[in-house]
Structure 1
Amino acid sequence: MASPPRLGASPGGRLDLTPGRRGEARLLDAAGHLILRWPPQGGAPQAAVAYPADPLAAGAALVEASDDAAAGQEKAALARAVKTRRAALERRAEAVRGDLGRLGSVARLQKTGQLLLAQGARVPRGAAKALLDDWETGGKIEVALDPARPAKAQAEAFFAKARRYQRGEAVMRARLAETERALSAIAALEADVAAAEARPESLDPLAQRARSLGVSRAELAGEPGTSGARALGAGRPAPRRPFHAYRSASGAAILVGRGAEDNDALTTKHARPHDLWLHAKGVTGSHVVVPLAKGASCPADVLVDAATLAAHFSDARGEAVCEVSYVQRRYVRKPRGAAPGAVVYDREKVIAVRIEDGRLSRLLATKEEG
């Protein structure tokens, strides 16, 4: 009985063996072309397509093709990660420009404080708003008030907010300049990635540059839950998180609520009873959570970093010193019917944190998009 012939590999890297009804078989390539029948008809295998008979050469070609495909995927993942980082920096720059835009309200805040100070005696106690005479224009200015406090006492709040905006200007302008420099560098990198060959020797230095500009290793590798993995169709996009994550100098995670309703979600759904919860004292601001192991205490440097973020993401932004309340999450509760973000808490401790520009810039640069 004759033995089957030796075959070279298909250039497509795939062969399909189709059994027949009476012991015969057909061998097809990836495109469905007939390579041969077995047993042979007419005494010899019937080959429709000729392939190299050297299996080592064919295997080397397949390995090279596989390497090329992997490098192409690596380049695509790198391009996506860099694009994601550029978009994040653009959002950050826009947010800082918005903060700087509020500086235009300094004069209005100071003027409102002066008018309240001069005319507060005419405002009825418990009023939710006041209609003040504008001496400059001869018209009226309507001012929203806290009914629980005398109008004159609230004048200082307008002066304090104006001072915060003024003191925060230098920090905001420095952060905007830093963000714009990073944007310029990431745009140059994006162009270099697009022009690079899909070869490890070309991509490795670009990946190193990407990491130095804040692109995470997980995004570069296309791990599950990263933008790269989503773009590759590795699963549905991750749900929107109600917080932004930052990192302390020691690498500890610090979670900052993104808005009033997000604060509620962070505190009531994500934070665990033994986590540390922080909030700028006496002003509106984000809830901040430091995840901790059960029974662990928060290191002093992480506490200062978290308190710095709590102060920055509050109406105390721009103050040189800010008092920040902190308690275990177990002592924070949300009253029924309370407004979004409004909570009450017991066993409060307070830290007076001095805002250091270097510390704040370092923390803001660690923001993890998600």
Structure 2
Amino acid sequence: MAFDGFVMRITAGKIEEHINGLNLRNIYLEDKVLYFSFDAGDLKISLNPNFAHISFTEHIVKEPEKQTFVDFLRSRIRGAKVSKFSSIGYDRTVVLELKKTDEIGQKHEYKLYIDIMGKHSNVILVENGVILDAYKRIETRFRNINPGEKFVLFASNKMNIEEVTADSLSVALEHFPKQKAISEFIYSTIQGFSRLTAEELLFRADLDDMALSQISDEHLNALLEAIASIRRELSENQLYVYYENDMPIDISVFRLHKYTDFKRCENPVECVNEYFEFVEKKDKLTQKKNQLLSIVNSKIEAYEKLIDSIEKEVEECKNAEKYRKFGELLKAYSYQIGHGLEEVTLTDWETNEEVRIPLEKHLSAIENSVKYFKMYNKLKKKLEGLSERKEILERELSYLRQLQNTIENAETLDDLLDIEEEMVEGELIKKHKGKKNTKVVTHSEPRRYTFNGFTIFVGRNNRQNDELVRKASEHDLWLHVQGMPGAHVVVKTNGKPIDDETLQYAAKLAAYYSKGKYSTKVPVDYTQVKYVKKPRGFKPGLVLYSNFKTLFVTPTE
């Protein structure tokens, strides 16, 4: 876990420097995040289990939520002065201590306990050791967090890293199951450690993650030396941010040798904000992507079932020709067929085959012939209707699969908001009436690449795909994967011929931003924009094209 007890402690220390002695102006809640507003900025308490943490930031709450606990906090601690903000050892609990004199002159000393523990994260307001209220009222076998109950700290029997000695470590080892791994022993008995930081401790001690039963005195000494090196780094009050592909992937208070790309921060709070801003954006992106994909996938499944049902009906309609033949044979041989028969066998003059025809015995041969012609006409008309309907449904399905691909390839929240707007207009998502949309939607721009002097655009969504074609010159080059959903790619030629290397590069982009992203030898069609047409009534992103050639490429990032 990135936000372990070590990061918690150093962050709390830096936040106290900002808020100690200040008065609390207000409290807000937005998307599982509490903001305690001060003149110097905002104490941020994220209770989202995916990225629970504390920090200090300057934040404007755009859509504050109404919540009973927030209202209660405002009534009790708004205007209170901060007397202390500190962590409890290296555990993931901090305490905000506040003093306030109420309207009738009575003095209060409140303690706000903040547990940052994933899905168990909570904020609890306490006075004189008694719980006044909590963000989450819960009762477990360890704690009863309800108003009126005596407050009990989250039980922790772990050692403080600053107090670890050879003797205390030996005692702890005696009481821990010998079949367990050293890493589990570390994060289970010493405050602040997570699985990842326990691995770092073993790396520094040059130890494999063996069972405790295999530990020798030499191993124990190496472990103590590694703990001492970590203690030295903890005293420096610095923080590291680690990167992969220029994106922050972890933070720690001491150096983690697992990562090679990192920076050392003089201001831990800034690094905590940098890391969690990225994590939050990524989480929101994932949530929105899953939400939109769920709607589109559900529609795709429904359309596939409808088309499957139509195909079964089409198979039934194929009997139409058989009924026409029955009618023709009965009409031609009517003079030979007696009344009251249940069936008759006649020779088909076209094939010389014998054809057995069921009859309604109360009808004459001509009347049976008329009946079969009616059945033929009915099925023929039904088949025409089914074919038209199937064509419409297949076009809708093609659009939905194209939409699915644009959602899967979306890289930012703005990309997804553009797609969501398209889905609202296409009535795939119902727009809530009566609720004014106060959000300013920033429309994303197409992806833009430069290669060998040519500018290449790749659509991020169906609207952009259409716009790229509409705004392109007729001699610009248009590319799209063959027979599968994908982005439209336009190479701006400015009247110049495109070299093979640029053509290959543009084709690889088209393949990468398509359903063929993880395939090899993906077929990509290309033609001039003047041969790309969008018929009236076609859904966004769908076009017809001609005069094309095909390349086979393997997509690369």
Give the TM-score, by structure 2 length.
Answer: 0.29
Give the structure with the larger strand fraction: 2
Larger RCO: Structure 1 or Structure 2 (Cα < 8 Å, ≥ 6 residues apart)?
1
Which protein shows a greater Rg? 2
Could you tell me the TM-score, scaled by structure 1's length? 0.41
Between structures 1 and 2, the one with greater helix share: 1
